[in-house]
Structure 1
Amino acid sequence: MNNEKADVVIIGGGIFGCAIAYYYTRDNPGEKIIVLERNELCNAATSRAAALMTRIRSKKAFIPLSLETYNAVTAMEQQLGESMDVKTVGVMHVAAEESSVKDLEVLMSIATEFGEPATYITAGEAHNKAPWLKTDEAIRIGYMPGEAYCDPYLLGTFYARCAKMQGADIRQGVEVTSLLMEGNVAAGVHTKDGVIRANKVIVAAGAWAPLFAAQAGIGLPMAPVRSQYWITEKAPEFRVDAPIVLLPDAQAYARPEGGSLLFGIREKNSFSASPKEIPAEINSFSFSPDKGMQDLSEVIDRLTRFFPAVYETGLKYYVAGFSGYTPDNNLTMGAAHGIANLLLATGCVGAGIAVSGGVGHAFAEMAAGRPNPYDFSSFDINRFGEIDPFSQEWLDKCARARSAKKSG
């Protein structure tokens, strides 16, 4: 591989990179696309995600992207003749304060606008669906039966397997060292094994994306911010068919996990790291020496309003990873301004699994020279002006955005 040529080269074999390869090979048969992953596919942020496949959100620009993910799942299951075992259990939005009730009313109207089923249910009905949930303080509870969660690694590898069937060249253990820049044109990539020239270069490198963007003179407005969740011991009240539960007034969420409960919180002080300080092998990174217990202890009083048994429930697993956050909790992605042939599929703000189908479709179309079928105006890379993505001020700003987040 001394000096190869491709139509498209993708840096990163996480869920975005694999999804783009799936759509590109599906819609552009015979063209050459190469995905380069320095470790194993989907082994960093993707495999650590809580994987809520949220369809209805307050940020309406996300919704068409998420709906496309469901289309992709159906198509890939048919293509592979296998089930992804997506758990369509629905979601309950529990509003216990007036501000949350107003947010819920907006969300319910958005569901109606998009033709998604959504009803209000009683506190008793909610408790019956999720026996661990204390509903005494709930003012209104919205139920959307179409929402689901999945195994994120499985979704990522379905994209990759279908892409390979369609002709994608997916290479693991190949590290991209830098972009190949010719003036203001991205002309390919340098790897440890040689140069790959390409008509389009797509950066889908997750937490490390700002490093590649900087090589093209772009201050990419996102920061790696830790997401963390816990999985409890098994207990009868954690029914496997229970809905996802979103608790905006506790800044928490929960979903079933095989007879256990998986739950996450927004800690008071979210942890961010410079992309320059994150090792290539993410498993060697210490996200929390105490497995998040200090962070949990600072907000557990909010959680016990709805999950009083949390104190007596054993915690079996702790999972943490980086999501690319922004100050406005919007995705950061699209064409690089002022640089030809460079596309940036980045800044997932904790929604990467849900929006992966739409992101894959959008970037495949853009890479092929066709218009983006989705509205990315609120995701524009220049919306914050000039920023230094490696400064402590910027990292703190993005971390605070996650700490303030109330939605799922």
Structure 2
Amino acid sequence: MMKKTDLVIVGGGIFGCAIAYYFSKNNPGKQVMLLERNELNNAATSRAAALMTMVRSKRSYIPLTIETFKVAKEMEEELGETLDFKVVGMMHVAASEAKVKDLEVLMDIAKEYDQEAYYINKEEAKVKAPWLEVEEALKIGFVPNEAYCDPYMLGTFFARCARNRGVKIHQGVEVVGLIQETGTVKGVKTTDGDILAETVVDAAGVWAPLLAGQVGAGLPMAPVRSQYWITERSDLFPINSPMVLLPDAQAYARPEGGGLLFGIREGKSLVASPKDVPKDITDFVFSADEGMDDLFENGERLARFFPAFYDMGIKYYVAGFSGYTPDSHLVLGAVPGIKGFLVASGCCGAGISVAGGVGLGIAEMAAGRPNPLDYSEFEISRFGSIDPFGEEWLHKCAAARSNKVSG
């Protein structure tokens, strides 16, 4: 017998789990199925550095992240457990006139959204982050309420709370096609049979363009490698030390278990066609030398602010694919001309922090209600007709990460 449901979500990463949570919470009595061909939150979600940045230059992201902080507290209360967000604050170090101007704009943005932010001097910065060399700093901003988290745990909280509300979560089930009828998506074809649904959400991460392509949509994103390193433990890295953004070095850092987790942008980011990314991300070799060539090629910029860089042992290397777009904006909403089909993708390295806002907005759209959040900058059709698998497009998306200066 063919299965029927109100909503099918394809992909069990943090976006898919968040959408399932909000839809089930706000639509009691409606049926939801979440389908994941591997395990929940095991691809991009679990590999994220998970900087929960509220104050950022892209204003459109801020309400989404504020929603994530809000829902995190609600889920903690529901489950009687803690997500243990590390509210250590974010330090923004500007070491050039151009970055000083950017920082001044950022501090004004913080005021717009009633977020605490203020300037600190070099001595205060050094006390907060003993590893940091601030001699070149012209201005240092501090945003005390910024945090980082365990991304896998946050994704799992969404899934657990969704399951508590009756969401049927199926792992090991692969969606192999869409059921369509004259411009309307009616459901999905899976390895476990067909499922009819009022609405289908494509939250398949870096594989999302493959599913969207079946409705004739060129999804404007590409899988681009994100990578970071974690040092050996040292007294230089207090566990309550703040996160640090170093835009002049195109780098970021945060404490991690007595060590320092840091990322730095390489000049040419690794990109792949969604067609070439294996179904199980653990089968992909992101770097044969665990990023050491990239690290030493670009490390000099970081060493200006982290003098112990060349002396510090590296304990872990973590890499994964993020869905990047040329303008570093998300890809959210409806495909023009297609009914019953929504997309939640293009995280651009910020997927953990915006997950609450993505889940809320897409769930409301799936329920046929107005989106309470402004997704106008995230529209799928904003680049016009594109080939998401073409070399030119892939390199445009890779350049967005290579040029990134935020976390």
Which bracket does the TM-score occupy, shorter chain normalised? over 0.9
SS in 1 for 2:260: strand
CA distance in 2, matches of 1:233, 1:186: 51
Alignment-mate amino acid for residue 339 of structure 1:
I
Q: 1:187-336 alignment to 2 at 5 Å? A: 187-336=186-335
Deviation, structure 1 residue 257? 0.4
Deviation, structure 1 residue 293? 1.1
Gaps in structure 2 of 5+ consecutive residues: none
**CA-to-aligned-CA distance 1:137-166 (integer Å, 9 cap, x gap):** 000000000100000000000000000001
What is the Cα-based RMSD across aligned positions, in Å? Answer: 0.6
CA distance in 2, matches of 1:7, 1:44: 26
Q: 1:9-408 alignment to 2 at 5 Å? A: 9-408=8-407
**CA-to-aligned-CA distance 1:69-121 (integer Å, 9 cap, x gap):** 00110000000000010000000000000100000000000001100000100
Alignment-mate amino acid for residue 333 of structure 2:
G
Deviation, structure 1 residue 294? 1.1
Deviation, structure 1 residue 22? 0.5
CA distance in 1, matches of 2:10, 2:304: 44
Alignment-mate amino acid for residue 354 of structure 2:
V
Alignment-mate amino acid for residue 286 of structure 2:
F
Deviation, structure 1 residue 175? 0.6
**CA-to-aligned-CA distance 1:254-276 (integer Å, 9 cap, x gap):** 00001010000111000110000
Equivalent residue pairs, number = 407
CA distance in 1, matches of 2:331, 2:164: 30
CA distance in 1, matches of 2:31, 2:339: 19
CA distance in 2, matches of 1:134, 1:298: 20
Gaps in structure 1 of 5+ consecutive residues: none
Q: TM-score, normalised by structure 2?
A: 0.99
**CA-to-aligned-CA distance 1:327-361 (integer Å, 9 cap, x gap):** 01111111111110100001000000000000000
Match of 1:8 in 2: 7
Deviation, structure 1 residue 183? 2.2
CA distance in 1, matches of 2:54, 2:376: 19
CA distance in 2, matches of 1:148, 1:193: 40
Deviation, structure 1 residue 310? 0.8
Poorly superposed stretches of 4+, deviation over 2 Å: none
SS in 1 for 2:249: coil
Deviation, structure 1 residue 298? 1.5
CA distance in 2, matches of 1:77, 1:281: 31
**CA-to-aligned-CA distance 1:198-223 (integer Å, 9 cap, x gap):** 00000000010000000110000000
CA distance in 2, matches of 1:232, 1:110: 33
Alignment-mate amino acid for residue 103 of structure 2:
L
CA distance in 2, matches of 1:307, 1:180: 54
Q: Percent identity?
A: 63
CA distance in 2, matches of 1:297, 1:393: 28
